[in-house]
């Protein structure tokens, strides 16, 4: 420390300038990091829970608000990402169900039993309830055996093991299927699943959807006759959103907040 009354030397001035320059560079780096967070709306995580949390944060930061005029919850505001890419590196990690912080008072949107039931009744099951227009299983169950056959006959070297959900008349339904494509590929010795959702409820839908789809991937994996390991899930959507009714819950779980009128 410089003594009181002592003159500042050239070295002292240089050190002071270097400190100021360092502080400026650190501030600029912080701004750049903030700007780069979720650049291109790309979310990457190890588990389903990891991407659920980060996808919420991404939607809060980069989403666009609009009032629903047709579809589910007409009249509500949605915070929606115009596009998003999600990579889950180890979606097989248990528990599949996401958790909320202990003591936060926010119940988790699903659990292991619900995910298992969702897989059996809705992903692979083809019987719809009286109040349902469809289940995903109505479309998946008739195609999954062929997808497995294509993978086995090619030893995993094919781009044809793709299941489509819906039909031309689906666009006339009041609530057409949100999940539209499920693709299976073997990449570097691992079974990769790629999915596309035309619309996707981020808070309550994504965790159960991805948990059920992981069980579908494990079902396919169990029927493959060549050496292959479980791999990632890649998900795309141009309609990943948070409904207005979940804004307070999402705000409680995130650093950034959605302004609530």
Strand pairing category for 179-187 and 190-197 = antiparallel
pLDDT tens by residue, 200-213: 999 999 999 999 99
At residue 33, the pLDDT reads 58
Q: Is the bond preceding 13 in cis, omega lying within 30 degrees of 0?
A: no
Q: How many residues does the chain have?
A: 261
Where do we find the tokens 């039931």? Answer: 117
* CB 133, CB 173: distance < 8 Å: yes
Q: Does the reported pTM lie above 0.85?
A: yes
pLDDT band at 67 (very low <50, low <70, confident <90, very high): very high
Q: Closest by alpha carbon to 88, among 55, 115, 111, 39?
A: 55
* CB 235, CB 210: distance < 8 Å: yes
Give me 58's structure tokens. Answer: 């991404």
At residue 71, the pLDDT reads 87
Cα(208)–Cα(139) distance, integer angstroms: 19
112 vs 7 pLDDT, higher one: 112
pLDDT band at 22 (very low <50, low <70, confident <90, very high): confident
Evaluate if residue 250 carries a pLDDT over 90: yes
Evaluate if residue 31 carries a pLDDT over 70: no
Alpha-helical segments (H) within the chain: 10-36, 48-62, 112-118, 136-140, 144-154, 205-222, 247-253
236: helix, coil or strand? Answer: strand
Evaluate if residue 132 carries a pLDDT over 90: no
Task: Give the domain 40-253 fold.
Answer: Thymidylate Synthase; Chain A (3.30.572)
């Amino acid at each position: 420390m410089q003594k009181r009354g002592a003159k500042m030397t050239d070295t002292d001035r240089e050190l002071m300038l270097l400190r100021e320059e360092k502080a400026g560079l650190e501030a600029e780096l912080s701004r750049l990091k903030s700007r780069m967070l979720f650049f291109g709306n790309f979310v990457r995580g190890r588990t389903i829970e990891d991407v659920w949390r980060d996808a919420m944060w991404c939607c809060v930061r980069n989403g666009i608000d609009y009032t629903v005029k047709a579809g589910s919850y007409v009249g509500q505001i949605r915070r929606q990402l115009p596009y998003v890419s999600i990579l889950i590196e180890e979606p097989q990690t248990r528990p599949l169900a996401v958790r909320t912080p202990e003591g936060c008072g926010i119940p988790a949107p699903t659990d292991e039993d619900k995910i298992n039931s969702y897989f059996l009744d809705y992903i692979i099951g083809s019987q719809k309830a009286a109040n349902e227009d469809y289940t995903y299983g109505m479309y998946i169950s008739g195609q999954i055996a062929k997808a497995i056959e294509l993978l086995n006959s090619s030893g995993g070297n094919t781009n044809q093991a793709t299941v489509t959900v819906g039909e031309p008349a689906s666009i006339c339904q009041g609530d057409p299927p949100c999940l539209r494509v499920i693709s299976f590929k073997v990449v570097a010795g691992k079974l990769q699943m790629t999915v596309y959702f035309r619309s996707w409820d981020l808070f309550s839908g994504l965790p159960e959807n991805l948990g059920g789809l992981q069980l579908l991937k494990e079902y396919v994996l169990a029927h493959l006759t060549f050496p292959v390991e479980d791999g990632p899930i890649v998900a795309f959507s141009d309609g990943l959103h948070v409904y207005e009714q979940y804004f307070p819950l999402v705000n409680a779980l995130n650093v950034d907040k959605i302004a609530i009128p």
